[in-house]
Amino acid sequence: MKIYKAKDYEHLSQIAANILAAQVTLKPDSVLGLSTGQTPIGTYKKLVEKYKSGDLCFNKVVGINLDEYYGLGADNPQSYAYFMNNNLFNHVNINTENVHIPNGLSQDIFAECTRYDEVIAKNPIDIQLLGIGSNGHIGFNEPDAELKLNTHYITLAKATIDTNKRYFKNEYEVPKMAYTMGIKQIMHAKKILLLASGESKAEILRKAFKGSLTTNVPASLLQMHRNLIIVGDEAALKGVF
């Protein structure tokens, strides 16, 4: 496990973007496992800057997103497809055919999970970007007695709905179901880059990386990954590392 302590969110975003840019520079056809949420926004902004200044090219990059809300399509501003277009894909030269996100509007849940499993099997992930939920979820793998290995359809935890309701008019509008990559697919990424910012993440980081492995804190399983990089700012890492 490698830990990078950033002084603040801006610095965290710079370090994370540098790591992803190095990956793409060394392997232009890298498969990037991508994530959404508040934390990676700064990183995507820095990647766009690197692209615009000519330092980075995405034309061979493949992007595979972790998760998507059930029932939301790319034209819905709350969907993760919309988030990715808005924060990254619309601003760089990534080939739209190389962009993969579970289809929240699919009529057949099981077929959609199988389709996504095939996408992941065909495109082994070089580096997976992750955030950590306040309950320790990664992607939408929520705390439970058992975790699913592959792409699946999940009921969101109350804690996740509570955290994410700030993006919606009210909590009733937050989708209660989502698609997510499974834990095996995340663990199979060659590298994992986990970002955490702010003091609200310190307690869950302590549970995940200083406690025992438990499916009740899905991020704790990352302790077993051979190439885990954690980039956190001082507030998030305080008392943890």
Which residues contribute to the site for ligand PGA (CB under 6 A)?
37-39, 131-133
CB of 131 to ligand PGA, least distance (A): 3
CB of 37 to ligand PGA, least distance (A): 3
- Token duo for residue 69: 């809300």
Q: Which is nearer to ligand PGA, 60 or 206 (CB)?
A: 206
Q: How far apart (Å, rounded) are the C-alpha atoms in residues 57 and 47? A: 10
Residues annotated as part of the active site:
67, 135, 137, 142
| Inter-residue contact 50 to 147 (CB < 8 Å) | no
Q: Which is nearer to ligand PGA, 98 or 237 (CB)?
A: 237
Helix (H) or strand (E) holding 152, with range, is strand 152-155
- Token duo for residue 101: 């996100």
**Quick check: helix, strand or coil at residue 130?**
strand
CB of 129 to ligand PGA, least distance (A): 10
Q: Which is nearer to ligand PGA, 131 or 182 (CB)?
A: 131
CB of 80 to ligand PGA, least distance (A): 11
Q: How far apart (Å, rounded) are the C-alpha atoms in residues 189 and 91? A: 25
Q: How far apart (Å, rounded) are the C-alpha atoms in residues 144 and 185? A: 17
CB of 11 to ligand PGA, least distance (A): 16
Q: Which is nearer to ligand PGA, 21 or 41 (CB)?
A: 41
- Give bridge partners of residue 191 from the DSSP assignment: 127
Q: How far apart (Å, rounded) are the C-alpha atoms in residues 164 and 152? A: 20
Q: List, in order, residues 6 or more apart from 201 with CB less than 8 Å away.
A: 132, 134, 232, 235, 236
Q: List, in order, residues 6 or more apart from 109 with CB less than 8 Å away.
A: 70, 153, 179
Q: Which is nearer to ligand PGA, 39 or 106 (CB)?
A: 39
Longest dimension (CA), the chain: 47
